[in-house]
A and B are shown apart, each in its own frame.
Chain A
Amino acid sequence: MAKKSPLPKLRERDKATLGKLTGLADAVAKSALAGREPKVEIPLRTKGNTTWDKKRGILRMGDATADRELFNLNQAKQFMQTMLHASTIKDLIEIGKTSSLRGVFYKAKHTVAGTKENTFDGQEESDPILEDLEVTLGALREELHIFAENRGTLVGNITIIDKGDEINARKQGSGGWGIPSIVEADVIQFGKCEAKFVLHVEKGTVWNRFNEDRFWEEHNCILTHGAGQPPRGVRRLLQRFNQELKLPIICLLDCDPWGHYIYSVIKQGSISLAFESSRLAIPEAKFLGIRAADFKDCKLPDAVKITLSENDIKRAKEIAAYPWFAEHKAWQKEIAALLDNGFKMEVEAMIAKGVSFVTEEYVPQRLKAKAWLD
């Protein structure tokens, strides 16, 4: 038996991806050798090319594409970067390894021959190129052997099998289980699950409060957070809980436009990843709070108010105008109430009513009353 197998046997899915990559290169080579200027057709990831699928309640990417041309001053570098990343991904697939976004950036980063210019100046140049490749090739990120940094944490009444290892989410101490970037069924399977719903909170501090108060135990749920705008791994996992385990997803987010948009992304999908909406969006997700009316209802002190900035107001109005909010009367009222208040509130504001007010009174009461927006 050889010490190192030169190349692992390719899985079917990898073969398909490799075929797509070769096709991309073939098109470039063919037009170049035929004297035509090479270009790559890339689906547009813009709001303009995003349509609202009202029936399914998710955002979808439209059919519009843009040509990325080599002989265009504004696109030449991106064209080069696209080809470089395509070749990097091919390497990853062939050696059967995955790499982080940052790893891929470093792998493709070098100085352009004969110059002092870097192929990539920073990861912020590299990441969008990879997303371009995803949509161009119609391949998921994991199919490209790329993952993002782990972000988001889970704890709760469920057993998860991660690459064959059994994770008992009930026994994750104070830290919880880090949700990986790739949570597809071939990596993550679900074991025994007693939980009846998922409570997704905005960020780690709130999650810590709920975990310390053993909220998930008392209310028999799964508790997750996505460190702000949840990454794809968290969203995909939530969607699988919802679709495979039929668990309702209930969100506890800040009372500000950013909280509202996190909910929107979880529920309908995001504009830049609209092509993945069917894999990520959870149209049934519910928004439990914080609500604009809570300031009065909970008799919160003035100290918790954070005045809306101009940017907040602008963003709130933008969100109100999104088609998936525009036709939603309750949400129009909610955003109007927020603007009317003139201030925003974070989930942590509830601490003004007692350290565990939010876990012991606010959330249980709301859950009981099913007082949420959806």
Chain B
Amino acid sequence: MSTATLPDAPDATPCTPMSKKPAPRATAETMGARQRDISVSEFFAKNRHLLGFDNPRKALLTTVKEAVDNSLDACEEAGILPDITVVIEDLQPDRPASAKSSRYRITVVDNGPGIMRAQVEHIFGRLLYGSKFHRLKMSRGQQGIGISAAGMYGLITTGKPMMIQTRPKAGKKAHHIELAMNTKTNRAEVTVDEETDDFPLQRLRDLPQARGVDVLDPAAYPTGTSVTIELEGKYQKGRGSVDEFLELTAIANPHAKFTFVRPTRTTDEEEDVPLLRKAKGPESGPASPGMEPATPATTEDLGAMVVFPRGVTELPPETKEIQPHPRGVELGTLLQMLKDFEQSEKGGSLYHFLQDRFCRVSAGTAGDFCEKIGVTSRTKVADIEPPQAEALYKVFQEAKLGPPPTDCLAPIGVQQMLKGMFKGVRAEFYAASSRSAEVYRGRPFLIEAAIAFGGELPADEPARVIRFANRVPLLFQQSACSSFKAVAETNWRNYDLQQPRGSVPVGPLVVMIHMASVWVPFTSESKEAIADYDEIRKEMKLALMECGRKLGAYLRKRAKMKREGERRDIFERYIGEIAQAVEALNGTDAKKLYEALLAQAKRRTAIADLELDEHGKAMKDEDPADQEGVLIVDAAGASPAPAPTPGKPDPFALSKKEAAALKVAALAKTEHDEPALLRAPAKSVRAKEAPKPATKPEAKSAAKPAPARAVEASPTPAKPAEPAKKPKPRMRLVNGKYVPVDDGPSLF
């Protein structure tokens, strides 16, 4: 019988899954009992990879990154030049070599404004709490997730609470708070709350790595905050390391000083990707006491610690908060804004709402908008029906409006980028470009690019792209990033570089791209790549092309100089022979004749190179714009030594080594960003007009593991070092010639 073969639950319909007992079906009641709020912190505890805590190494980096970002934002908002110290202590130095991770204690100390006691729990113990999320203002952090997530990660992996010292008032005691986050309630639980004089922590100043170096001098931290998080992590140099992060952060933030005290023991796996700078290795030892580590403008790697000095002494311009641009809001946001307005301004009119809550909406425009959706200027926001709101949204999209104000953006600046690149990358040529603000989705943004070329950079590898969003380096997901695509799409072959099809150029090149915006569109919450908006990529390419043009002009000029040099060489080579032969023939004084011919040779090569290219065709006059935003360091042997300008000291009189030490850059723009061309006389005049009283401590002093190139001392409040000895004239490469530089102001 066919029914007998049916399953033993005769009442079950054939499509029901087979089970011995029918499961009790959920009812709305039972389901409702299980439904409850999911705490945000609970969610992220389970999904920590979304925040950049995927693996031990990245967790370590993310923690440092979030703390440093917060510190920088806080310092800048308070108008303090940031001085940030990062200390990583290895808490299991005796672990077996096979250990995949270790326990570290990360402490980040800043000299920022400090935090009011009442805010501490909120800032550090709660996810999605912050001052930055709700406003359209350019800042590093956005969502207010970072540091509390780091604390939570530490808590999860080690059970140790986060430790915070903060001194909001100079001279007063600091707060010492330890707190653990309750992931269920999204609230912090304070375990220790006391006042202390120990700020910055004496323990850190006593670390063996810091011995002999003035780390965390209390005088430099009158106010400030120190965050300590213990976590399970892994310290390893190379790409995506804390070292790289700080290095890049220092490039994009030349106004900040960073000190990094490395853990005593690193994971044994060695780095495979070289950093931008060549590490000097531990044998250099710490700088001698009494020497201010902040004086050189180039980074110093002392092995156990690294000092990234301050390159410029001006803070980035303060940014203003802006109202959203009508075109930048989405319908849902618009509805919410209407609701919020109605709540705060009971009975407010749409006409006022439009003017009050948006930028670039004048009274007239607001009137137009009202008219277009069929309401009057007196219509109340409360009376706006959803269809009208939708109509308004459409009107927004079609309206002709001015772009949003751009004073909400703080570019790094051409000058600062050059300084930053110079300090971090040993190259021969630097160029930077800062675009003016543009808009994507109604949000203003601004793209800056800089390139470093030649010098010690590897010549046959693909260019290194370093990416920044609001001055924060982006270390991962490079190929997903709009900026990387922009680099690959730019035709670098136009600028005499090699470039495989559809890929980044190959050569001794570092490309830096910075996007500043009130809202950087990241592809994910871990903020690793910039989303690929056409408007953004276009600006990036334009900025890169600007830099590329400068590089191209430089490379052509270098080739030209080489030609000139070779040509002059040929003439000069034969002149001596000719003078002697002529003397033998008719008794003309060979020396006199030699000098006359030499003068002609110089004149001849100068004229020929000004007017002719290698094909003998007249060359276009160089665009002076190509010389702005450019920094050229004549690395030894990088370019043929150009001939001296007549009447100026002869650089050939110097030995090669001396000459190498004197290579100093020409810089097109002054501190005030006015276009100052590479004209020697103008420079010297300026030098005479504005001599800075400050003594410049000479960077290359014998006592130091000095960088092999001349560096400008930055006029930071440094301890008065020995007055600079300047036995040789400083030389500068100007229009292919060396000219002496007055010992006056810094070029920057």
Chain A interface (Cβ within 8 Å of chain B)?
21-22, 24-26, 28-29, 32-33, 35, 37-38, 70-71, 73, 76-77, 79-80, 83-84, 86-87, 90-91, 112-115, 117, 119
Contacts and interface: CB of A to CB of B under 8 A. Distances in A.
Contacts of A25: 581-582, 585-586, 588
A83 B586 contact: no
Interface residues of B, number: 24
Contacts of A28: 578, 582
Contacts of A119: 577
B185 to A, nearest CB: 83
Given A35-B596, A38-B597, A70 B585 contact: no
B573 A114 contact: yes
A87 B587 CA distance: 11
Contacts of A29: 582, 586, 588, 593
Interface in B451-484: none
Given A37-B600, A70-B600, A71-B601, 19 more contacts: A24-B585, A26-B586, A28-B582, A29-B593, A32-B596, A33-B588, A38-B578, A73-B567, A76-B571, A76-B574, A77-B574, A83-B581, A83-B585, A84-B577, A86-B581, A87-B580, A87-B581, A90-B585, A113-B576
A366 to B, nearest CB: 54
A28 B594 CA distance: 12
Contacts of B567: 73
A330 B593 CA distance: 59
Q: Which of B581, B592, B604 has the most CB of A within 10 A?
A: B581
Contact of A70 (B574, B584, B588): B574
A33 B596 CA distance: 6
Nearest to B577: A80
B571 to A, nearest CB: 6
B578 A83 contact: yes
Given A70-B578, A112-B574, A32 B584 contact: no
29 contacts: A21-B585, A22-B586, A25-B585, A25-B588, A28-B582, A29-B586, A29-B588, A29-B593, A33-B596, A70-B574, A70-B578, A71-B571, A71-B600, A71-B601, A73-B570, A76-B570, A76-B571, A76-B574, A80-B577, A83-B578, A83-B585, A84-B577, A87-B584, A87-B585, A90-B584, A112-B577, A114-B573, A114-B576, A117-B573
A111 to B, nearest CB: 10
With most chain A CB atoms within 10 A of its CB, the pick from B574, B580, B582, B593 is B574
Q: Which 7 A-B pairs have the closest CB atoms?
A: A25-B585, A80-B574, A83-B581, A25-B586, A29-B588, A87-B581, A87-B584
A32 B591 CA distance: 12
A152 to B, nearest CB: 34
A112 B586 contact: no
A295 B593 CA distance: 66
Nearest to A23: B586
Contacts of B581: 25, 80, 83-84, 86-87
Interface in B587-613: 588, 592-593, 596-597, 599-601, 604
B585 A112 contact: no
| Dominant secondary structure at the A interface | helix
A347 B596 CA distance: 60
Contact of B582 (A37, A71, A83, A114): A83
Contacts of B588: 25, 29, 33
A161 B580 CA distance: 41
Nearest to A110: B577
B593 A35 contact: no
Contact of A113 (B570, B577, B601): B577
Nearest to B563: A73
Contacts of B586: 22, 25-26, 29
Nearest to B574: A80
Contacts of A37: 600, 604
Contacts of A91: 584
Interface in B552-590: 567, 570-571, 573-578, 580-582, 584-586, 588
B577 A70 contact: no
Contacts of A83: 577-578, 581-582, 585
Given A25-B586, A87-B581, A79 B596 contact: no
Given A22-B586, A29-B582, A70 B573 contact: no
A22 B585 CA distance: 6
Interface string B390-404: 000000000000000
A284 to B, nearest CB: 42
A119 B189 CA distance: 89
Nearest to B607: A71
A113 B573 CA distance: 7
Nearest to B592: A33
B604 A79 contact: no
A24 B588 CA distance: 12
Nearest to A30: B588
B598 to A, nearest CB: 10
Contacts of A38: 578, 597
A24 B582 CA distance: 9
A117 B573 CA distance: 9
Interface string B189-227: 000000000000000000000000000000000000000
A32 B600 contact: yes
Contacts of A112: 573-574, 576-577
B656 to A, nearest CB: 16
A325 to B, nearest CB: 39
A90 B593 CA distance: 20
Interface string B124-160: 0000000000000000000000000000000000000
Contacts of B578: 28, 38, 70, 79-80, 83
B743 to A, nearest CB: 34
A37 B601 CA distance: 9
Interface in B212-252: none
B669 to A, nearest CB: 37
Contacts of A113: 576-577
Contacts of A73: 567, 570
A8 B604 CA distance: 44
Contacts of B582: 25, 28-29, 83, 87
A107 to B, nearest CB: 12
Nearest to B567: A73
Most A CB contacts (10 A, CB to CB) among B570, B584, B601 go to: B584
A28 B492 CA distance: 49
A129 B567 CA distance: 22
A25 B578 CA distance: 10
A32 B574 CA distance: 14
B585 A33 contact: no
A66 B580 CA distance: 24
A112 B584 CA distance: 16
Contact of B597 (A24, A26, A70, A114): A70
A22 B577 CA distance: 17
Contacts of B592: 33
A81 to B, nearest CB: 9
B58 to A, nearest CB: 57
A77 B567 CA distance: 12
A351 B725 CA distance: 93
Given A71-B571, A90-B584, A32 B597 contact: yes
Nearest to B590: A29
Nearest to A37: B600
Given A70-B578, A112-B576, A86 B585 contact: yes
Interface centre among B577, B582, B585, B600 (most CB of A within 10 A): B585
A33 B593 CA distance: 7
A77 to B, nearest CB: 6
Contacts of A80: 574, 577-578, 581
B382 to A, nearest CB: 86
B555 to A, nearest CB: 22
A22 B583 CA distance: 10
Nearest to A84: B581
